[in-house]
Amino acid sequence: MNTNLRTLTQPLWIGRIIAAIGAVALLGYPLVSQDTYYQNMIILSLVFAVGAGGLNIITGLAGYVSLGQGAFIGLGGYTIGVLATRFDGVSPWFWVPAAGVVTALVAVLLGLVSLRSRGPSFVIITVAFLFLTQVIAINWVGLTNGTAGLTLPLPSWDRDIINWPFYYALVAVLALQLLMTWWIRRTKFGMGLVAIREDETKAATIGVALPTHKILAFVASSVFVGMAGAVYGYYLTFIDPRGMFSILISVQIVLSLLIGGKATLWGPVIGAFAIEPLNEYANNSLGGGNTRLFLFGGLLMAVVILLPHGVLPAVESFLYRRRTTGKAGLVGARIGTGGSLASLTSYAERVPPPDHGATPAPALLEVSGLRKSFGGLKAVDGCSFTVPEGSITGLIGPNGSGKTTVFNLIDNTIAPDAGVITLAGRRIDTLPSWERAHLGLGRTFQITRLFGEMTVLENVVAAQRSFSWRQLGRIAVSGPEAAAADELLEFVGMRAFRDQKAQALSYGQRKLVELAQILMLDPKIILLDEPAGGINPVLIERMGEMIRELNSYGKTFLIVEHNMPFLLDLCDPIHVLARGSVMASGTPEDIKTDPHVIDAYLGDDFQLEQEAVQ
Ligand code: ADP
Ligand code: MG
């Protein structure tokens, strides 16, 4: 039973029937009706559907709101306009794919420029981009003929079927785009995009290469829009900068996506086919111009307030609730006992730790001179320690001593002020988070950071153990990827929850899923930030067993934990952190008896916490 209402991979059967009826009606309409008014309306709706479908990739999946989407339609229109007026003998249709390529290339540029911005500043960049393209179209007179516009060759076919080629070309572009979106949402690439939407910093720590994903998302969100823009330009036969790069086109696209439903497959199509007729109506019967703006503004507000997820998700959730009333939800379900990793081959490989004989194990992770200040507060202040290969190393210290910040610096969730970090002899402190993950660094968060809107399975398969183009295109939600994730979920005892949304899980369940998620990276070293914090005693015991089992397969651990019996039992060596630097290191016995440690840490805090644990 799938409960992920907004997933694109399992549309309800009702949805499939409606989509099939819609497709047949769309394909058959020009054959049964000669009414060019309605044909025109459908052609415009198709253009907006493709525009909104493209926006769905960057906004719906990746979470980056763009108001510049209309520029891609304009770029497509101008590509065909410029080329068709220059190459007389060539059919303008030839330039439609070229428009897709040109638009995608410009989108790559926009992606590169906006890589480091997010939220409102990203929106502003996209608006600026739209105006910039318009200004260029106006002023590059040699290429675009400026404000005088371009007139394309008139269609050469029979007047009776004058609209048909445009109509069916747009249907084909829309179909291709829907296919692409459906496919993307099933791939590792699509998982990466949704992960970026849900929590970009966290996505980077599980190996999602952010720049590549964002730029590819821009390409995917623009290529078919450029082609639709080209067909549209040819259909209009006359294009000018004000018409092709009007911000109203972008607004209508955004509105279509929001009304239909972000991150759904059909939402943008439904939205576009609802908004465009309304737009026509406002133009023809309500006086156009300002009425249209008023209408759009009002609608936008109404949607944001009344249907924050859009029409399609609202309908789906209504149908879903009707279908499943009385079914047990998460509340009664219990965490499984878990299995072993015995059969696991591809992920979390079982390589026993190397035997170093009498010589001490080499350092797998080495941190030296790490520093980080927040304003005047020195959270980490010259912190140095090593984690021997094959060990379960502990890191303890009073609250606020900088343990979590040390983790944040090691995986680049926060940039350090100074310090050297090496992993397996290689300096990693200048690398972005995802490259550290690819080199074998896995890290859980003190307050777990799962992707709430994704299912448990999707959370696990979102992890990328290395970067390759082939991997990005690999199907994530079924096949070997899903099988590996299933096995890891079985190991942590969460297989039964694979199709639940992560946001519905309890605190302890989240910790288990986050562990499975980073195991998907097949990490060399696993950093656990308070794995036993806030979970029940049975689960604490199970957590200890899992850590030992994974360690026997060759995984090295660095564990921050306040539960002293748990930690002293599990870890050797142990480093003690005080005010951001290591004040003592040694075996559990050394630590328990070190007068400085007892004085500084175990003396007061430790006893208090011991009581709290009991
Ligand atoms: P611990 O995990 O050992 O309890 P932390 O590393 O979370 O400690 O915090 C160390 C100190 O740094 C605390 O005083 C905390 O308030 C401060 N700190 C941590 N993160 C930030 C941040 N992002 N901005 C400002 N101060 C922070
Ligand atoms: Mg902490």
Q: In the chain, what are the domains?
A: 19-319 (1.10.3470), 342-613 (3.40.50.300)
Whether the CB of 408 sits within 6 Å of ligand 1: no
Looking at residue 507, its pLDDT comes to 92
How far is 112 from 10, CA to CA, in rounded Å?
34
Looking at residue 324, its pLDDT comes to 45
Q: Are 525 and 364 in contact (CB under 8 A)?
A: yes
Angle at 59 between CA 56 and CA 62, to 5 degrees: 105
* Average pLDDT of span 86-113: 94
Looking at residue 434, its pLDDT comes to 97
- Gap from CA of 557 to ligand 2 centroid (Å): 17
**What pLDDT band is residue 571 in, cutting at 50, 70 and 90?**
very high
Pick the atom of ligand 1 nearest to 398's CA: 3
Given the DSSP bridges, would you call strands 426-427 and 418-423 parallel, antiparallel or unpaired? Answer: antiparallel
Helix (H, G, I), strand (E, B) or coil at 304: helix
**What pLDDT band is residue 44 in, cutting at 50, 70 and 90?**
very high
Pick the atom of ligand 1 nearest to 380's CA: 10
Helix H or strand E encompassing 387: strand 377-388
Identify which of 404, 413, 446 to mutate to test ligand 1's pocket (most ligand atoms within 8 A of the CB).
404
Is the confidence at residue 325, as pLDDT, over 50? no
Ligand showing the shortest atom-to-Cα distance for residue 398: 1
Is the confidence at residue 594, as pLDDT, over 80? yes
Pick the atom of ligand 1 nearest to 580's CA: 10
Whether the CB of 403 sits within 6 Å of ligand 1: yes
Which residue lies with its CA nearest to atom 1 of ligand 1? 400
Selected residue with higher pLDDT from 20 and 386: 386
Phi, psi of 427 (to 5 degrees): -70, 130
Whether the CB of 373 sits within 6 Å of ligand 1: no
Ligand showing the shortest atom-to-Cα distance for residue 372: 1
**What pLDDT band is residue 201 in, cutting at 50, 70 and 90?**
very high
Whether the CB of 379 sits within 6 Å of ligand 1: yes
The predicted model scores a pTM of 0.89
Buried b (16+ CB within 10 A) or exposed e, 107-123: beebbeebeeeeeeebb
- Gap from CA of 403 to ligand 1 centroid (Å): 8
Pick the atom of ligand 1 nearest to 399's CA: 4
- Gap from CA of 199 to ligand 2 centroid (Å): 19
Residue with tokens 């899992």: 546
Looking at residue 335, its pLDDT comes to 56
**What pLDDT band is residue 441 in, cutting at 50, 70 and 90?**
very high
Which residue lies with its CA nearest to atom 7 of ligand 1? 404
**What pLDDT band is residue 284 in, cutting at 50, 70 and 90?**
confident
Helix (H, G, I), strand (E, B) or coil at 393: strand
Whether the CB of 401 sits within 6 Å of ligand 1: yes
Is the confidence at residue 513, as pLDDT, over 60? yes
Angle at 369 between CA 368 and CA 372, to 5 degrees: 120
Lowest mean pLDDT among 292-306, 397-411, 595-609: 595-609
Instruction: Kindly report the average pLDDT of the chain as a whole number.
Output: 88
- Gap from CA of 447 to ligand 1 centroid (Å): 13
- Gap from CA of 460 to ligand 2 centroid (Å): 24
Whether the CB of 562 sits within 6 Å of ligand 1: no
Is the confidence at residue 104, as pLDDT, over 50? yes
- Gap from CA of 559 to ligand 1 centroid (Å): 17
Angle at 361 between CA 359 and CA 366, to 5 degrees: 135
Looking at residue 88, its pLDDT comes to 86
Of 241, 259, 261, 239, give the one whose Cα is nearest residue 251: 259
Looking at residue 33, its pLDDT comes to 83
How far is 336 from 229, CA to CA, in rounded Å?
53
Looking at residue 332, its pLDDT comes to 36
Q: Are 519 and 311 in contact (CB under 8 A)?
A: no
- Gap from CA of 599 to ligand 1 centroid (Å): 22
- Gap from CA of 362 to ligand 2 centroid (Å): 27
How far is 124 from 422, CA to CA, in rounded Å?
39
Is the confidence at residue 340, as pLDDT, over 90? no
* Average pLDDT of span 104-129: 93
Looking at residue 379, its pLDDT comes to 95
Looking at residue 338, its pLDDT comes to 60
